[in-house]
Amino acid sequence: MSAAAPADLAPGNRAAVLTKPHTIRIEEFPVPTPGEREVLVEVRSVGVCGSDVHYYEDGRIGGFVVRAPLVLGHEASGVVVDHGRSTHGLRPGTLVAIEPGVPCRGCTQCRAGRYNLCPEVHFLATPPVNGAFARYLAVPADFCYPVPSSLSADAAALIEPLSVGVWACRKAAISLGDQVLITGAGPIGLLTALAARAAGAVPTICDINPGRLARAAKLGLGLAADVRRVRLAELGPYDAFIECTGDLDVPGDGMRALKPAGRAVLVGMSAADELRLPLSVLQARELVVTGSFRYANTYPAAIELAASGAVPVTDLVDAIFPLDRAEQALQATRSDPSLIKVVVHPCEEADQ
């Protein structure tokens, strides 16, 4: 019953709030009451994403501007501690991966199954919606996915970025035996490459940072190219190309490495907006270019990949911070490219 909060809840909801660029404060809010179809989750692990760092540094990402104090964090997992009236099937104590974008469920996009394109989506840590750097979060029950007991809270949090990779692979129509070029060996590039490998494809991952290339190799991604030394267009040919750097010179170069009928998926975002592509290559090879925006219907597959070990998500975790050090977690992610994934444990701060 949600009417009375369970006895063992902490009395307040401590959260890490971005009050202005470069400033995070720990504040305490009332514990939210779950709505009829919601559950209350005690947040256990939250990955730090590049978008969190952008908000922290610039107070904005493109058209999304932080105009009021904002709780960051959207790669989250936690344990169900309370629930609304109509949330059959999610019992207290269950560890869940939280899908952070809740769509309107009624628009053309939602009804067509493309709920990631819903114009009225509420997405955690996207202004003005508060995120998951908090002890408690109320979430629609159907956006909470129980994970097998073999998965840790950190693994469950990383289902979110793995979903980005799974979605990119779907958009790229990756299938058995495909040769796939992936540019960028950060967390999204690595998870995309691991998802592609899990789909029976052969990924080649590229970066200019030797440490990240070494990390890719350590993750078992045998084909890695240092693009300080090799030009993309000389690689391949590839069946698919997934761009994860956001560098606007890369899409055109990668396209030249594609086979006829090859697919290019642009995942990496850029503040500048002018993509330049070689029209004649696009036409003569009938390449298919698409952007990828978050994901839809990926959580079950991503959980399966993590649970089977096909994608060893926790191997990406390089540092863990308690809630009251969330700001250091953001700074570490920004400044140290050797840290692939930093996570925040909101429940651990109380213990310190």
Site track for a second copy across 50-69, x = CB under 8 A: ------------x-------
For a second copy, which is the closer residue by CB, 11 or 63?
A: 63
Tokens matching residue 176: 């058995």
List phi, psi (to 5°) of 29.
-120, 165
Q: Dihedral of CA 139/120/251/52: which sign?
A: negative
Instruction: State which of positions 108-167 bind a second copy (CB under 8 A).
Output: 108-117, 119, 140, 142, 166
Amino acid at 307: A
CB of 191 to a second copy, least distance (A): 12
Among 26, 129, 202, 233, contact with a second copy (rule: CB under 8 A): 202
Place of tokens 């050090």: 325
Region of 6-14, 69-77, 174-182, 315-323 interacting with a second copy (CB under 8 A): 174-182
Greatest Cα-to-Cα distance within the chain, rounded to the nearest angstrom: 67
Distance in angstroms (rounded) separating the CA atoms of residues 13 and 100 = 19
Distance (Å) of CA 101 to CA 83, 118, 137, 288: 19, 10, 13, 27
What is the Cβ-side half-sphere exposure of residue 186, based on CA atoms within 13 angstroms?
Answer: 19
List phi, psi (to 5°) of 130.
-70, 155
CB of 20 to a second copy, least distance (A): 25
Region of 50-58, 204-212, 291-299, 330-338 interacting with a second copy (CB under 8 A): 291-299
Site track for a second copy across 4-43, x = CB under 8 A: ---------------------------------x------
For a second copy, which is the closer residue by CB, 62 or 128?
A: 62
Among 276, 335, 351, 352, contact with a second copy (rule: CB under 8 A): 276
Closest C-alpha among 95, 128, 102, 130 to residue 16: 130
Among 210, 308, 312, 338, contact with a second copy (rule: CB under 8 A): 308
32 DSSP 8-state letter: P
Peptide bond into 312 cis (omega under 30): no
CB of 287 to a second copy, least distance (A): 6
Amino acid at 342: V
Q: How many residues bind a second copy (CB under 8 A)?
A: 68
Run of H or E residues at 255: helix 250-256
Among 67, 290, 336, 338, contact with a second copy (rule: CB under 8 A): 290
With b meaning 16 or more CB within 10 Å and e meaning fewer, what string describes 93-103?
ebbbbbbbbbb
Q: Are strands 223-226 and 75-83 parallel, antiparallel or unpaired?
A: unpaired
Region of 48-56, 123-131, 172-180, 211-219 interacting with a second copy (CB under 8 A): 172-180
CB of 113 to a second copy, least distance (A): 2
The residue ranges that bind a second copy (CB under 8 A) are 37, 62, 105-117, 119, 140, 142, 166, 169-171, 175-178, 195, 198-200, 202, 248, 259-261, 266, 269-270, 273-280, 282-293, 296-297, 300-305, 308, 310
